[in-house]
Amino acid sequence: MKIFEADLSDPEHANAVVFLLNSYAHSPEGGGKPLPEDVRYNLAGTLHGRPDTFVVLAFENETPAGLVICIEGFSTFSCKPLLNIHDVFVASGYRGQGLARQLFDHVETIAKARGCCKLTLEVLEGNERARAAYSKFGFSGYELDPEMGQALFWEKKL
């Protein structure tokens, strides 16, 4: 298995990102429907143009097997960058083989090199398999004060 930071100017890497993310979108965890055509067409180029974003890919020989899309943010309380793991996907034929762990290890190495103070991610409440994996990798819900409870992730579509 080869794990590396993608070069989104490379058509093979760009196509792998779109293929894997579209596969994720088809799954129940990804919403159960394909990415819109304009997203599939523009995704790799748009990600490539964002200096705060990178993708880690896994290939077995010529076959894309997994990806992690990361977006750098900033922790005001630490006055340091943080890294948000925005999308994670391991293709069905590669699950249960430790690939997610390898992807996360690679991301963590990059985050440390960038001086990040933490990794963040979102996970659906019903995605027990991912929650168990993330917990095993050292992730947990966070709170600043136990009396205020754990942080919640909300959205407002625009």
> Which tokens belong to 91?
């293709």
- In degrees rounded to 5, what are phi and psi of residue 145? -145, 120
The predicted structure's pLDDT at residue 14: 97
pLDDT along the chain (158 residues), means of 10: 96 97 93 95 97 97 96 97 96 93 97 97 91 93 88 88
The predicted structure's pLDDT at residue 152: 83
CA dist., res. 84 & res. 119, Å (int):
6
Pinpoint the alpha helices (H) of the chain: 11-26, 37-48, 99-113, 128-136
CA dist., res. 15 & res. 136, Å (int):
31
> Residue with structure tokens 């429907």?
33
> Which tokens belong to 150?
């754990």
Contact between residue 3 and residue 106 where contact means Cβ atoms under 8 Å apart: yes
Does domain 2-148 fall under CATH 3.40.140.10? My reply is: no
CA dist., res. 24 & res. 40, Å (int):
13
- What is the pTM for the complete model shown? 0.93
Percentage helix, strand, coil, to 5, in the chain?
Answer: 40, 25, 35
The residue extents of the domains of the chain are 2-148
Beta bridge pairs of residue 4:
57
CA dist., res. 90 & res. 129, Å (int):
12
Contact between residue 19 and residue 44 where contact means Cβ atoms under 8 Å apart: no
